[in-house]
Amino acid sequence: MSIQRLVIATRKSRLALWQAQHVKERLESLHAGLAVELLPMSTRGDEVLDRSLEKVGGKGLFVKELETAIAEGRADLAVHSMKDVPADLPPGYVLAATTAREDARDAYLSSRFASLAEMPPGAVLGTSSLRRAAQIRERHPSLEIRLLRGNVETRLAKLDRGEYDAIVLAVAGLVRLGLAARIRARLSIDESLPAPGQGALGIECLADRDDVLQTLGSLADPDTAACVRAERAVSRALGGSCTLPLGAYAVMERGTIRLSALVASPDGRRIVRAQAHGADAEAVGAAAAQSLIDQGAEAILQALR
């Protein structure tokens, strides 16, 4: 018998609600008679804004409460930004679908300077990401990089109040919120390698819910899923934390996954890069991770622990 009702656990931020609403509308359009409801929740990751994610438990703080709602039967599934999902899910949970990817690049926003290259020494740039900070410091060591936490609107408000000369956010979130006009420049993949899974949405549910898995399968994009699996395999091999200064981005070209990855010291003075390609996502990710390890990635990461 087909499912008649599903409940989506979601964070309360406007972007998270947009993502959950997007999945709700897709499901209802694909499955006649299906009613989908949202269960908005506040997570610890949303509540602790005065410290970096690295110091309070990592991006997994954004998903734990949603998983609890699923385990307790208050929700059937959760919708996540894939870049916020730890490389290993808790036992009993599964990623039922990865949706087609939005633009995975990072966005440069500023009302004062047209580009990173135009920012003078000492200018203040805001980001919450060690990955972004390291890659920007490598190319622009004279900039002052400061912690920037909060949802998209909060970060934009801090920029508009002049607390930062520029900020860097994900293109995907701005596009989804109708804020693409705020983007001054889209940083190239070479300039700022994205986080694993950036731009893609992942839908999580319990592994034993065959009825939910079957329903959610209609949302899956196989090419995006394969690329994201390769990217997450790099993260898993290097410790699995979403907060590592690690970038990984893959594209699918005629059945071949082409993956670029990097690990950086937070100050940007040491960055190791690797590339790998092949048909098997896990193998491609493992090969890139091994290449990074061979070049000294573990020493970089050990210094952070």
Active-site amino acid positions: 84
Distance between CA atoms of 171 and 89, rounded to whole angstroms?
26
Q: Which helix (H) or strand (E) holds 230?
A: helix 222-237
77-81 and 124-127 as β-strands: parallel, antiparallel, unpaired? unpaired
CB 127 within 8 A of CB 167: yes
**What is the SS3 assignment for 298?**
helix
CA atoms within 13 A on the CB side of 223: 12
Cβ–Cβ contacts within 10 Å for residue 66, how many?
24
Q: Which helix (H) or strand (E) holds 22?
A: helix 14-30
Q: Which helix (H) or strand (E) holds 264?
A: strand 256-264
Is the backbone of residue 240 left (phi > 0), alpha (psi -120 to 50) or beta?
Answer: left
106-109 and 166-170 as β-strands: parallel, antiparallel, unpaired? antiparallel
Query: DSSP assignment of 78-106, as one string?
Result: EEEEGGGS-SSPPTTEEEEEEPPP----E
C-alpha angle with apex 282: 249 to 237, nearest 5 degrees?
Answer: 80
Question: Which residues share a beta bridge with 249?
Answer: 260
C-alpha angle with apex 39: 35 to 42, nearest 5 degrees?
Answer: 165
- The residue among 116, 79, 296 whose CA lies nearest residue 205 is 79
